[in-house]
Structure 1
Amino acid sequence: MNKFKLNKDTSYLVAVSGGPDSMFMLNSLIEQELTNFVVCHVNYNFRKDSNNDFKIVKKFCEKYNLKLEFLNVDQDYSELKENFESWARKTRYDFFVKIGNKYGIKNILVAHNRNDFVETYLLQKERKNYAKYYGLNKVSKYKEMNIIRPMLNILKSEILHYLQQQEIEFAIDSTNTDIKYKRNEIRASLKEEDFASIENEIKIKNQELNKLNLEVDWYVNNNMSAEELVITKNFKDENLEFIQRCVYKWLEIIKKDHLVQNRSNKTVFEIAKNIKTSHKVFWSMNIENYCLVKDYENIFIIKADLTYPKSFEIKTKEDLYKIEEFINWLDIFNAIKKNKEKYPYVVTNDYTKYKFETYTLGKKTNRYFIDKKIRYKNRMLKAVVYSKRTKKILNNIK
């Protein structure tokens, strides 16, 4: 059977569920006499017999004196509102990142095999998923971790035969035969003798994808301003897949791709759809604790709490400390001083409200915003100060 070899000078985390694939991988490390690794196990307590998985892993680690780090998940699954598989993936990979930081290790070995490679492609094809790569890539990233899949050339049947031959104990996940999960339905209908033709199809699809990704890279690299992506007219005319890939590439560059990695593919699709079809100069979308904003011809992403509206009344000099809530507090302070401190003032970034109540350079502020095309980024992040009596804004809005 096919085997894999790893660099003995590199440190690894090893993801071990207790199932046949991960126990095969763990045993292979022992056979290769690798020593610089840490075993990681996650017990979701999702199945009644999940503790048995942990016992198998623990027993193996004790036999060979291996370092074992484990996460015992305490979760009421009746209250879980998201897809279990996506939630579980994020849970375990965040755990890997934590353990990687503890030991200073950046590489995690995952026991996906050749069957998983084919099944993943067929699942992508069935769901018409956004895919960075069709099938499974030998190396990918999660946050700062390198995910390494050394077993993609090994068949499941070979793994099972070897484990039985060597009398290596492993656990069986009963949920793997539940065909309510689409992957299990695909798995049940697959035959290993059909893999060669499917893998040839995957190869062609990835060649096409590589060509598309070159075009994506060119657009994104030539249309970024600081950490913002510029939306050109030609870009809006591209197909949705191209726009989705550009959005994902941009998020990768600014290191925010983790916000959409574990969410429904609808997230990136909705962003792309809004870019392509919306005629609004401004729209926003909350993604976890961030806010993605379309602002005239740019899109950017910021912490959601920075967009929350805040307003303070400055009645006396003693109230001036309140302006420190805003990033442009010095500008506000100087505007009040220039106005000879004719209290009271209002300081606010609640532009949806103050734009209708105030005046800027003799115009209603709303009209001024429209005429000058004042960016929404500045409206949200920077505050204005105006006289409570005259409603006149005193600082510059740019």
Structure 2
Amino acid sequence: MKLIACSGGPDSMALLDMERKTGGGLFVCHVNYRKRPTADRDEAIVRQYCETHGLLLAVLYPHYEGGNFQAWARDVRYDFFCRQAHLQGIGKILVAHQQDDLLETYVFQRERHMRCDWYGLRYRSRRQDLVIERPLLGWTKAGLEAYCQENGVAFGVDESNLGDDYTRNRIRHGMQERDKARLLTEISRMNREQIRFRKQATRFFDSHAATELLDLPRPTGERLLDAWIAERTGQHLSARQCSQLFADLQKDCVTEFGGWKLERHGRDLLLAEPGWKPDQAVTVRTMEELAGLSVVDGSASGETCEPVQRLSVTEADFPLMIRPVKPGDVIHMRFGKKKLSRFFIDRHISRLARGQWYVVENAAGAVIYVPGLGCDRDHFAGGHTFCFRQFSPVAVHDKIKTVTFKENQL
């Protein structure tokens, strides 16, 4: 079975009719934004066709709350299509993008100097775990309107496409027929070049640390940086963004783009996702609670525990707080006071990893344990001894690696 996205316009109605005639099960999805006077008419066209031919139909009436309508509408409808596909056990979604859509997309990309994995529109792509297919990319809009008329397929005309309120409408109306063949040739050339570049990028990262791209001349290095980021984030940077990042990363630093945090740390490049932040602090009120924590190895006694993993506490230390490091944190060791900022510098710990480094603080507000450094001078013995075998620099680094990518993982 296939899921057909159908707006009621000539493109999607032609696709629906073509697919019905080829046979096989179809499930039709329609989104009525109720933003224009003819929206209900288009829904009625789709409903009538489905009723006539015995096709299953699902309709969504989303509520628009402001912002970029085009971007919001696109996300709403694709989320709806994917949700319905999962409910129906369907793995493929067909959409009615045609050749004019392909050309408009390419001109839009070119005007904005966008770097892309693919220029124009792909015949086949993926969203979530589903395949999105565009079978009509070889058809023009005029050709699809003619198909509907010749085959008696009703369709509606979206009047919002007649004006120049949206950028794509302006591009569409300004495009001359004589330009289309040239643009199609240009798109094909650009995509062949992009395929070659991706192969070159893969070969580079197979044999080089990611930071070595920063030693290359700017045009090549910036393109490789964009490829490295796109592989991990699913988004390309503008030329201006990429140029600025390339300059920033010439030395160790943490910088941001689109909510992502990017750090150069020696030979590593580290990425943290948008919204990434240290976990919340955990309060531990009793010995029993401490013994039950997953970071505590209850099978190890104080004698078998490595000194750097050992912490002895008394009832007076509770409640304990296991929390991320704060600026200004210090721990009083037997050899003297140690600033945690100095510890990070001495151990060459990346700034993003520091954000996931935890300490144990007692009821008096003193830091009494630091992973990789050990306990303070007053908590090595004399109380109940616990072994933080999992609560170590390795465990903390493993945590940061869940949101970062290092060196040649392209």
**TM-score w.r.t. length of structure 2:** 0.76
Larger Rg: 2
Aligned identity (percent) is 25
Q: How does 1:341-380 map to 2 (within 5 A)?
A: 341-342=313-314, 343-344=316-317, 346-353=320-327, 355-359=328-332, 362=336, 363-380=338-355
Quote the offset at 1:106 in angstroms. 1.5
Does residue 294 (structure 1) correspond to residue 263 (structure 2)? The answer is: yes
**Matches of 2:241 and 2:296, distance apart in 1:** 36
Q: 2:287 aligns with which of 314, 317, 327?
A: 317
Q: 1:146 aligns with which of 131, 137, 151?
A: 131
Q: How does 1:166-315 map to 2 (within 5 A)?
A: 166-220=151-205, 231-235=210-214, 237=216, 238-251=220-233, 257=234, 260=235, 270=241, 273-274=244-245, 276-278=247-249, 279-283=251-255, 287=259, 292-294=261-263, 296=265, 297-301=268-272, 304=275, 307-310=278-281, 312=283, 314=284
**TM-score w.r.t. length of structure 1:** 0.78
Q: Assess if the C-alpha contact under 8 Å between 1:236 and 1:275 holds in 2.
A: no
Question: Aligned letter for 1:27?
Answer: D
Change in Cα spacing, 1:37 to 1:372, as seen in structure 2 (3 Å) is: same
Change in Cα spacing, 1:206 to 1:340, as seen in structure 2 (3 Å) is: closer
5+ residue gaps, structure 2: 374-392, 394-410
Equivalent residue pairs, number:
358
Question: Aligned letter for 1:371?
Answer: D
What secondary structure is seen at the aligned counterpart in 1 of 2:355? helix
Question: Aligned letter for 1:46?
Answer: K
Q: How does 1:107-186 map to 2 (within 5 A)?
A: 107-186=92-171
Instruction: Quote the residue 2:5 is aligned against.
Output: 15
Q: Using the TM superposition, name which of 119-128 and 233-242 deviates more.
A: 233-242
Q: Assess if the C-alpha contact under 8 Å between 1:248 and 1:268 holds in 2.
A: no
**Matches of 2:296 and 2:64, distance apart in 1:** 44
Q: Assess if the C-alpha contact under 8 Å between 1:112 and 1:151 holds in 2.
A: yes
Question: Aligned letter for 2:287?
Answer: K
Instruction: Quote the residue 1:3 is aligned against.
Output: none
Instruction: Quote the residue 1:226 is aligned against.
Output: none
Quote the offset at 1:25 in angstroms. 0.5
Does residue 105 (structure 1) correspond to residue 87 (structure 2)? The answer is: no
Query: Which has a greater percent of helix?
Result: 1
Q: Assess if the C-alpha contact under 8 Å between 1:349 and 1:381 holds in 2.
A: no
Question: Aligned letter for 1:62?
Answer: E
5+ residue gaps, structure 1: 1-10, 224-229, 252-256
Q: Using the TM superposition, name which of 381-390 and 152-161 deviates more.
A: 381-390
